[in-house]
Structure 1
Amino acid sequence: MKKSAFRTTEISEEHISAEGLRFITIKSPHLQGRGDLCVYIPRGVNTENLPMVTLLHGVYGSAWVWALKGGAHLTLQRLVDEGKVQPMGLLMPSDGLWGDGSAYLPHHQRDFMSWIAEDLPTAAMENFPAFSPASPRFISGLSMGGFGALVVGGHHASRYQGISAHSAITDLEQMADFVEESWLEMKKASDFGNAFQVLSRAGKNLPPLRFDCGKDDDLAEANRLLSRQLQEAGIAHAFEEFPGAHEWSYWNRHLEDTLVFFDQIIQDADTKSKH
């Protein structure tokens, strides 16, 4: 048996897992403790190199939120059944469970960013044969998880084939609107406190990027500003606004946009490889 990258791994039993959802707890050196991950692979998938889609939750949440509040696995299964996207696997981790939200960044002697970029794919490949080092990787998230997707995806641009965000926090100072912990000092000490700065450092090495926000969301103007900054810097991206606020009904509805976007990237790559 191949040696695991983690000291301990616990995984839920498939025959008693609800709706095909599997839960994994691993001891992560980056977290200096245990981290949780929820995985969904569409029914009937028997393939290698299955694309990995990481979905990052917002403040207050954990590994169960995207599935059991957002129904992400149901949306994916419906799109696969309707032929709108090809099969892909969902990786839905906790943020590391620091305070009201870790923002997916390195701080307090824990590397929440590497937990996402390094530990998750490794755990997925160790426990599910459908995933491999050749699996295309994508990252998305909502609110704080949208910030995480932009920053983790931007900093690790070579690891991901696409980035998408919904209702994203774009600057750590905005965390103050949601959490009781102070992020101001952490922003001053961080290289990742502003999404535009991280994305601009990646520049033309960024994979395809999209993000959206509800017109009635308090973060709408911050997302508009990010789009203007990217445009002025000549960084390709798509930004969309839709009716809605900072709420699950909005994210439930627009996760489909992310999955279709990722599927199109895969199709484009397949077409390019044939020519």
Structure 2
Amino acid sequence: MSSFRTIEISSDVPDGLKFLTVKSAHLKGRGDITLFEPQGDFSEPLPLVILLHGVYGSHWAWAFSGNAHKTAANMINSGEIEPMVLVMPSDGLWGDGSSYTSHNERDFEKWIVEDVVKAACEASPLVNEQSPKFISGLSMGGYGALRLGLRHPQIFTAISAHSAITCFSEMALFIEEDLNSLHKSWDESEELDIISEFSKEGKIHPHLRFDCGLSDQLIEGNRLFHKQLNELKVAHTYEEFGGAHEWDYWQNHLPGTLKFFNQFCKIKGK
């Protein structure tokens, strides 16, 4: 029995892709997802990687602007990484970007951490609830990956972010909507940055890496986040590379994310 009132799943299309449309109670409407399945016969459930897009985009962005599915397929076929399923959801399509938070009577956070995972398990026989789960994203999607991964360590084994917004106020660099419309309790004087998630005593954190381009307008925020993590003695990997806030950069550095996740692909309980 489906977890959704309605779920539409496309026939297989080239390059191992499927397209899903589900009616989500958290979105109060329908949401779209692009899914990539590697070819082959597998006796165990595969790892599930969620890729979150940035502002202005949608579920197709990582596949058709970033070639994520082709990158994954090439790396799997060459033996660089174990087979894994990619799930690339829409952010919920609110304004220029939902920020993957809860606002305007919609829960864009639960859409990702609950609905997208359930939809992937229903649409693909290659994954199930026992699959190791990873989350990554770019720009606003990097913010979503960091925030959701840290808030749900029971779900996600590891997090990787590219060119991430690391402070909620940086959303203003990209969207025309008032920040208060995305986060009712947001206030510039309050510490609502992602770093606050690390300050909770005794909290277990997923494995973490992030990177940013040297010509990216978000580089200083990423450097500050790296500095704050070091001060808190939080284990993580931070890297800087040549490049700007653009698809060439994200496409070139997605392999680093997939290799990072590949280290932690063991099925729970195995």
User: What interval of TM-score do these two structures reach, taking the shorter chain for normalisation?
Assistant: over 0.9
User: Matched residue of 1:231: which SS?
Assistant: helix
Q: For 1:151 and 1:192, locate their aligned partners in 2 and report how far apart those are by CA, in whole Å.
A: 14
Taking structure 1 as the reference length, what is the TM-score of the superposition? Answer: 0.92
**Residue in structure 1 matched with residue 239 of structure 2 by the alignment:** 240
- d(CA) in 1 for partners of 2:91 and 2:257? 20
1:48–1:132 Cα contact (<8 Å) kept? no
Superposition map of 1:26-175 within 5 A? 26-175=22-171
Whether 1:23 and 2:19 are equivalent positions in the alignment is yes
For structure 2, list consecutive stretches of 5 or more residues without a partner in the other structure.
none
CA contact (8 A) 1:173 1:184 kept: no
| Structure 2 equivalent of residue 253 of structure 1 | 252
TM-aligned CA deviation for residue 132 of structure 1: 1.1
Cα pair distance change 1:136/1:189, threshold 3 Å: same
Alignment-derived partner of residue 4 in structure 1: 2
Sort the Cα spacing of 1:20 and 1:192 in 2 relative to 1 into closer, same or farther, 3 A: farther
Distance 1:202 1:49 in 2: 34
Q: Aligned equivalents of 2:127 and 2:191: distance in 1?
A: 29
RMSD value, Cα: 1.9
Task: Say if 1:182 and 1:138 are closer, same or farther in 2 by CA, change over 3 A.
Answer: same
Distance in 1 (alpha carbons) for counterparts of 2:47 and 2:250: 21
Quick check: 1:37–1:94 contact (8 Å CA) kept in 2? yes
Match of 1:264 in 2: 263
Q: Distance in 1 between matches of 2:167 and 2:70?
A: 31
Higher relative contact order (CA 8 A, sep 6+): 2
Counterparts of 2:183 and 2:196 in 1: how far apart (Å)? Answer: 12
Change in CA separation of 1:228 and 1:210 when aligned onto 2, cut-off 3 Å: same
CA offsets 1:103-155 (integer angstroms, 9 cap, x no match) = 00011110000000011111111121111111000000000000000001011
- TM-score normalised according to structure 2 size: 0.94
Following TM superposition, by how much is the alpha carbon of 1:11 offset from its aligned partner in structure 2, in angstroms? 0.9
Aligned amino acid, residue 207 of structure 1: P
**2:3 is aligned with what amino acid?**
A
Inter-CA distance 234–78: structure 2 relative to 1 (3 Å threshold): same
Q: Secondary structure at the match of 1:79?
A: helix
Q: Which residue of 1 aligns with 2:224?
A: 225
- Superposed displacement of residue 263, structure 1: 0.2
Q: Residue 225 and residue 125 in structure 1: after superposition, are their counterparts in 2 closer, same or farther (change >3 A)?
A: same
Please state how far the C-alpha of 1:188 moved relative to its aligned partner: 5.9
| Whole-angstrom CA distance in 2 between matches of 1:188 and 1:235 | 29
Q: Report the alpha carbon displacement of residue 203 of structure 1 after superposing the two structures with TM.
A: 6.2
Question: How many residue pairs are counted as aligned between the two chains?
Answer: 267
> How many Å separate the matches in 2 of 1:80 and 1:179?
36
Go from structure 1 to structure 2 and tell me whether the alpha carbon gap of 1:70 and 1:182 turns closer, same or farther (over 3 Å shift). same
> Shift in Å at residue 25 of structure 1?
0.3
Give the secondary structure class of the aligned counterpart of 1:147.
helix
State the 1:192 CA deviation: 9.3
